Chain A
């Protein structure tokens, strides 16, 4: 019985179907739980889906590479979805143009805050030099963060994980923190979410409002640019 189950698992695990079905089902289950819990930020759907799939992989001893071979078809759509952020940007362009300088100033301030505070806190608590270099670009969208991390002497794959965790944290904590601060301006909400937590924060901002989504997408793009330029310069002073 156990033998045949293992055989079926090994057979299915080699096919994209299982990884794709698992990814969608885990995300749907996560979204359902999130909705049932009255959108409790701690039951973030991405966090729940990642935890469920990671548990299945660990229990069955399936390597991440095997899972990703199938799940890469979902992962691939991140590219076109990023391009599609041009649409909310276009719809909100008038608002963006009116406060271009304020937007640029806020994003640069946020970009420096993100890197300096992450490295500072981790260093105080005794993180290794590899972790410090890997955590510095954590607020930036994964492809840029990975490239910057390597430039600083970090590990790109560790950075990818820290980037995703940061995104989930921003999506979880962002809206309640902004509520506590009494920030009701959708532009400021979007900029904060996009600068602190890139695409996952942007995905959360899209759910808050169209205006917040547009500003978050803009912030994600500009923060990627700002960090790629500023962080390597800042690093000489930080390290």
Chain B
């Protein structure tokens, strides 16, 4: 278990180093995710213990955003002054993005099913 947690940290570290070295426009952890994924594809199997560590981390993923979220206390001034513009933009744009992305995926899949060439 500890070994696989170390493996995950190593992937993140390698990702961070790769981003610094190449100037890729993605964050280190996302790069680390790609590295771990590449490793799994090469190994062609998923060790149970690695799956257990990952599932534990992901089960409480929402919790991990709380400390950054509390940072909104630093920006109460702007959020209050431009509250109408900011809340309208956030709500409408988020709903629109969800609708457009899901509709695009569902639409393309429906087209493909109709024309399986």
Contact = CB atoms under 8 A, between A and B. Distances in A.
Interface of A: 19, 23-24, 26-27, 45-46, 49-50, 53-54, 57-58, 64, 67-68, 71-72, 74-75, 77-91, 93, 99, 101-103, 105-107, 109-110, 113-114, 117-119, 121-122, 125-128, 131, 135, 138-139, 141-144, 147, 157-158, 160-162, 164-171, 173-174, 177-178, 181, 183, 185, 187-189, 191-193, 195-197, 199-200, 202-204, 206, 213, 217, 219-221, 224-225, 228-229
Interface string B51-89: 101110111011111111111111100110010111011
Q: Closest 5 interchain pairs by CB?
A: A110-B101, A228-B25, A125-B85, A71-B67, A82-B29
B102 A141 contact: no
Interface residues of B, number: 71
A125 B65 CA distance: 29
14 contacts: A23-B67, A75-B68, A82-B29, A86-B33, A118-B90, A122-B85, A126-B82, A126-B85, A131-B85, A143-B29, A161-B71, A178-B98, A191-B101, A195-B101
A81 B64 contact: yes
Interface of A is mostly: helix
Nearest to A188: B105
A169 B58 contact: no
Contacts of B26: 144, 221, 224-225, 228
Q: Which DSSP category, helix, strand, loop or mixed, fits chain B's interface?
A: helix
B100 A110 contact: yes
B66 A49 contact: yes
Interface of B: 5, 8-9, 11-12, 15, 25-30, 32-34, 36-37, 40-41, 46, 50-51, 53-55, 57-59, 61-75, 78-79, 82, 84-86, 88-106, 108-109, 112
Contacts, number: 318
A53 B66 contact: yes
B33 A58 contact: no
Given A113-B93, A219-B101, 15 more contacts: A50-B66, A77-B64, A80-B29, A83-B29, A90-B46, A102-B108, A114-B94, A114-B97, A117-B96, A122-B82, A139-B94, A143-B28, A162-B90, A181-B102, A221-B30
A168 B66 CA distance: 10
A188 B98 CA distance: 9
Given A27-B66, A78-B64, A144 B27 contact: yes
Nearest to A107: B101
Contact of A90 (B29, B41, B64): B41
